[in-house]
Structure 1
């Protein structure tokens, strides 16, 4: 399979959040690895805005004087493509997500996942095979001081017999080996932090232009 072509980086109009801006801890047990990221609060980004965002990542927006896919603005350096099976993302939608962590093609994420939940409390996606979860990403948000508190849990692996036999090894060695997992943590802190720089304005704009 040919590696996806990295698009030109977009201008970085705002500083990306540093790794130390979030609390991160990892727990490994039962063949699974669970990474929890507690982000610094998002200023002026409400849970309702986040629910709308995760339903409307497909689409375009104005950025740096151009009209660009929203996904390429979300992380202006690493994101490559975001394809959804439905016009509005909802439970049951299939997503094909491609990104190069740190713009390093050796740390490529090229994965198809299914949306489980999108509402004003959480956005959850997962990659399952034969009834076993390889990857599950839970994004949870609650109101805080006019914005939101945001906590992410990435679970790698499962406790099913099939997981113990082979799939946990695949998840840990191919999907998220240690170096890629470390790069993903930094990337995720950057992309979630970046939402407070553009989402409030985009959300207000959408009220007059989109359903």
Structure 2
């Protein structure tokens, strides 16, 4: 799947310095990347829950119709697919998301993966990938109410906790997702989370029924 031409940037991109982030090496060659984002002014947890349930919906952006996912990061996002619907239908808890993106539009940092949504509610979303039933990847975004807007924290865990998986973890954190890629992901995630402060209200205004329900 080729990297598409970038869509127009209608909203400012935050810089990594706007967030508190850390990349930690853990036992058995695991890695944890943590990002504590600057608050999202005007954004609430119910709005974020709605967003992830409707991430693939078509929206009006920069004079075109496209998926909300492509509008979310106009430079890095390539494709989002509902690989498997949730048991109750749609992109809800229990669904499988296919995500294709290239951090910084750099093909060295391309991701094309399918993860299961193991949690999606008003407190956050958890995406998990397992090998032979063992969790080898987890990306968890948690959010909460705050006086300056939604407080949003992202934590990515790479590698399994079982010592027997140490060789697999080493391959994962040195070849599949090395340190340079983790650093590129930090910038990418800070940018896309920050865009929600502007994009999400714009999209909800295109859905007056949902905007009214969510108090936008």
Q: Return the alpha-carbon distance in structure 2 between the equivalents of residues 19 and 146 of structure 1.
A: 19
Pair 1:22-2:19 in alignment: yes
SS at match of 2:13: coil
Q: For residue 62 of structure 1, what is the aligned residue in structure 2?
A: 60
CA contact (8 A) 1:47 1:147 kept: no
Structure 1 gap ranges (5+): none
Q: For residue 131 of structure 1, what is the aligned residue in structure 2?
A: 133
Q: For residue 106 of structure 1, what is the aligned residue in structure 2?
A: 108
Tell me how far 1:201 sits from its aligned partner: 3.0
Q: For residue 6 of structure 2, what is the aligned residue in structure 1?
A: 9
Q: Return the alpha-carbon distance in structure 2 between the equivalents of residues 162 and 53 of structure 1.
A: 38
SS at match of 2:206: helix
Pair 1:118-2:126 in alignment: no
Tell me how far 1:102 sits from its aligned partner: 0.7
Pair 1:202-2:203 in alignment: yes
Q: Return the alpha-carbon distance in structure 1 between the equivalents of residues 204 and 172 of structure 2.
A: 35
Q: For residue 193 of structure 2, what is the aligned residue in structure 1?
A: 192
Tell me how far 1:205 sits from its aligned partner: 3.4
- Residues 204 and 162 (structure 1 numbering): CA distance in 2 closer, same or farther, change over 3 Å? farther
Tell me how far 1:29 sits from its aligned partner: 1.9
Query: C-alpha offsets along residues 138-183 of structure 1, whole Å, 9 cap, x if unaligned?
Result: 100000126200011110112124422x321232123311111111
Query: C-alpha offsets along residues 178-210 of structure 1, whole Å, 9 cap, x if unaligned?
Result: 111111110000000000111023234335279
CA contact (8 A) 2:103 2:109 kept: yes
Give runs of ≥4 in structure 1 deviating > 3 Å. none
Residues matched between the structures, number: 207
SS at match of 1:41: coil
CA contact (8 A) 1:126 1:136 kept: yes
Structure 2 gap ranges (5+): none
